[in-house]
């Protein structure tokens, strides 16, 4: 090798050292950034022994990255549902504290039994009526709060749709820079990291998949195959409801005109925050609401008054509990949607006093003075048959709508207890799922970070290698300089 060739090789090595050092510094600066990948400089050796820097790439593991996206979507789904279940559970809390429908029904039954033992005691009657008021008020409040949770989920869907549109706009701008940068040979590795961050944000909202086209162009799909981004962003649309009641269905979400939520969706999203919010709004809360409605219907039915005439001809009518459709009764064994929000104690009893005590004991609550619904025809102050009948009716088996998801034939107290157990069981299962998916997401992200992230130990080792290369290059330049000096001196 000639001295000039050796000098050129050393100079090229120093130039490569400068670029390698720059990338190394970027890696060290990003050591604490979980979204940064390790940048790698490739060297190309020329025929004369020199070195030139090739393109800068980044550490990538597609399988681990996709596993991270999937686990994040699953974790977000479970966590979203669990948050709603925690709120529903707080409505009931520990049944032993007396806040659950089952506990309140039990209290009403016990006070009616005490009143039946002393049917001429108006104080005991007032106590029973007070329990009924507490029970109907609790059902009203629970129903209202269930719908509040639905409204919050609906608002969350609107926020997610807006967030997705913002992400798509950001992706479009960034992707354009990546494509143009790739075409002119510019280092776009940091921008590719930023694009991965946007994909991770997508995965929080819904499950996504992606593919890379020419010039690092990207196409993004939902997990079910609906296009989110392909050269241009697709519009995500959702109409938030101003008011949701138990009988009001929520709106669907659309991507580029394709319905992606609800039972009518041809390509539904099944993971991510959006799928979790849909499950909360349309399934979990509505299931619990149906159970509350069946409890309310059972109460109206249990305390209904029947025609006491020798030849009954009138249909049963509401007694202690009534509803806006009274004095008739709701359809038997059928969920009356939203009934829990409107059940009330009959207005003729709410004033209390001796008149209320007499009506509760003797009957004809909905239609005072109507002899057809009068149980105590003799006016006997010690009459307890009607009160005993109420207690037996609460404890007797009755039919419930299978749509409520519980036993179709059981007593009212057991049905209410089964509702609390259903909610507790669903919450426990979802909690286990959320914990599992959360751990899976943490492990997937750790594995991805270990495979593609910056490791300071490795960077320091690389720094030492670069330092030795630099020393060798400068030593060679020094030797060449010395030899050239000898050569010039000898020529002179």
pLDDT (tens digit, 9 = 90+) per residue, 356-396?
999 999 999 998 889 999 999 888 999 999 999 999 999 99
Quick one: average pLDDT of 419-446? 95
Percent with pLDDT over 70 in the chain: 84
Q: Which of 188, 175, 215 is nearest to 56 (CA)?
A: 188
3-state SS assignment for residue 255:
strand
Q: Which of 73, 59, 38, 78 is nearest to 209 (CA)?
A: 73
- How high is the pLDDT of residue 250? 94
Of 251 and 30, the structure prediction assigns the larger pLDDT to: 251
Over the chain, what is the mean pLDDT? Answer: 88
Query: Do residues 264 and 252 make contact, with C-beta atoms less than 8 angstroms apart?
Result: yes
Helix axes 285-302, 412-452, angle to 10 degrees: 170
pLDDT at 472 over 90: no
- How high is the pLDDT of residue 10? 53
- How high is the pLDDT of residue 424? 92
- How high is the pLDDT of residue 276? 97
pLDDT at 8 over 70: no
3-state SS assignment for residue 118:
coil
Distances (CA, A) of 360 to 67, 139, 264, 366: 64, 21, 49, 10
Report residue 459's pLDDT band, with 50, 70 and 90 as the boundaries. Answer: low
161-175, 269-283, 321-335, 454-468: segment of lowest average pLDDT: 454-468
Of 73 and 46, the structure prediction assigns the larger pLDDT to: 73
Quick one: average pLDDT of 432-458? 88
Of 461 and 68, the structure prediction assigns the larger pLDDT to: 68
Number of other residues whose CB lies within 10 A of the CB of residue 450? 11
- How high is the pLDDT of residue 16? 55
Pairing mode, strands 397-399 and 409-411:
antiparallel
pLDDT at 41 over 80: no
Report residue 35's pLDDT band, with 50, 70 and 90 as the boundaries. Answer: confident
Q: Which of 352, 350, 379, 340 is nearest to 363 (CA)?
A: 379
Quick one: average pLDDT of 49-73? 82
Name 337's Cβ contacts closer than 8 Å, sequence gap at least 6. Answer: 246, 247, 289, 290, 293
pLDDT, tens digit, 9 for 90 and up, residues 220-264: 999 999 999 999 999 999 999 999 999 999 999 999 999 999 988
Distance between CA atoms of residues 420 and 343, nearest Å: 20
pTM greater than 0.75 (yes/no): yes
25-39, 199-213, 306-320, 323-337: segment of lowest average pLDDT: 25-39
Structure-block tokens of residue 115: 């009143």
Structure-block tokens of residue 430: 């979802």
- How high is the pLDDT of residue 56? 76
Distances (CA, A) of 105 to 131, 134, 286, 363, 408: 8, 10, 22, 20, 19
Quick one: average pLDDT of 159-172? 98
User: Concatenated DSSP letters for 19-52?
Assistant: HHHHHHHHHHHTTT-TT---EEEEEEE-TTS-EE
Of 477 and 112, the structure prediction assigns the larger pLDDT to: 112
- How high is the pLDDT of residue 22? 62
Structure-block tokens of residue 110: 């016990």
Structure-block tokens of residue 289: 């609401």
pLDDT, tens digit, 9 for 90 and up, residues 74-127: 999 999 999 999 999 998 876 556 788 999 999 999 999 999 999 999 999 999
- How high is the pLDDT of residue 121? 94
pLDDT, tens digit, 9 for 90 and up, residues 287-345: 999 999 999 999 999 999 999 998 999 999 999 999 999 999 999 999 999 999 999 99
- How high is the pLDDT of residue 476? 54
Report residue 29's pLDDT band, with 50, 70 and 90 as the boundaries. Answer: confident
pLDDT at 14 over 60: no
pLDDT, tens digit, 9 for 90 and up, residues 132-152: 999 999 999 999 999 999 999
Interior/surface letters 27-55, b for 16+ CB within 10 angstroms, e for the rest: beebeeeeebbbbbbeeeeeeeebbebee
pLDDT, tens digit, 9 for 90 and up, residues 183-193: 998 989 999 99
């Amino acid at each position: 090798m000639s001295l000039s060739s050796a000098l050129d090789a050393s100079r090229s090595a120093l130039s490569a050292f400068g670029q390698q050092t720059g990338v190394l510094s970027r890696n060290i600066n990003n050591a604490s950034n979980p979204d940064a990948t390790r940048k790698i400089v490739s060297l190309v050796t020329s025929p004369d022994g020199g070195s030139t820097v090739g393109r800068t790439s980044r550490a990538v593991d597609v399988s681990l990255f996709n596993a991270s996206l999937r686990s994040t979507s699953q974790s977000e789904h479970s966590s979203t549902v669990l948050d709603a279940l925690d709120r529903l559970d707080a409505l009931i809390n520990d049944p032993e504290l007396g806040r659950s429908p089952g506990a309140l029904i039990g209290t009403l039954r016990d006070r009616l039994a005490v009143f039946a033992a002393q049917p001429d005691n108006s104080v005991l009657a007032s106590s029973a009526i007070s329990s009924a008021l507490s029970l109907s008020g609790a059902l009203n409040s629970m129903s209202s709060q269930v719908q509040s949770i639905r409204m919050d989920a609906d608002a969350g869907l609107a926020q997610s749709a807006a967030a997705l549109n913002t992400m798509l706009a950001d992706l479009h701008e960034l992707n354009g820079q990546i494509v143009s940068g790739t075409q002119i040979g510019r280092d776009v590795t940091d921008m590719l990291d930023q694009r991965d961050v946007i994909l991770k944000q997508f995965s929080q909202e819904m499950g996504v998949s992606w593919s890379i086209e020419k010039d690092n162009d990207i196409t993004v799909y939902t997990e079910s195959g609906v296009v989110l981004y392909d050269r241009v962003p697709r519009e995500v649309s959702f109409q938030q409801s101003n008011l949701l009641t138990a009988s009001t269905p929520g709106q669907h979400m659309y991507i580029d005109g394709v319905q992606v939520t609800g039972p009518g969706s041809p390509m539904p999203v099944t993971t991510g925050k959006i799928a979790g919010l849909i499950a909360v709004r349309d399934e979990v809360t509505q299931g619990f609401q149906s159970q509350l409605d069946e409890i309310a219907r059972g109460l109206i039915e249990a305390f209904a008054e029947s025609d006491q005439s020798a030849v009954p001809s009138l249909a049963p009518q509401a007694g202690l509990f009534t509803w806006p459709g009274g004095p008739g009764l709701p359809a038997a064994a059928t969920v009356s949607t939203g009934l829990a929000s409107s059940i009330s104690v009959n207005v003729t009893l709410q004033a209390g006093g001796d008149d209320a005590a007499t009506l509760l004991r003797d009957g004809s609550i909905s239609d005072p003075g109507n002899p057809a619904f009068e149980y105590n025809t003799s006016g006997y102050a010690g009459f307890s048959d009607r009160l005993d009948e109420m207690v037996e009716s609460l404890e007797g088996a009755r039919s419930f709508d299978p749509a409520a998801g519980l036993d179709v034939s059981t007593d009212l107290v057991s049905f209410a207890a089964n509702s609390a157990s259903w909610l507790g069981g669903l919450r426990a299962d979802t909690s286990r799922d959320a914990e599992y998916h959360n751990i899976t997401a943490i492990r997937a992200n750790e594995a991805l970070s270990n495979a593609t992230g910056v490791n300071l130990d490795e960077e320091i080792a690389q720094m030492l290698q670069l330092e030795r290369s630099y020393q060798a290059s400068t030593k060679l330049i020094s030797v060449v300089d010395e030899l050239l000096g000898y050569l010039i001196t000898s020529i002179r």
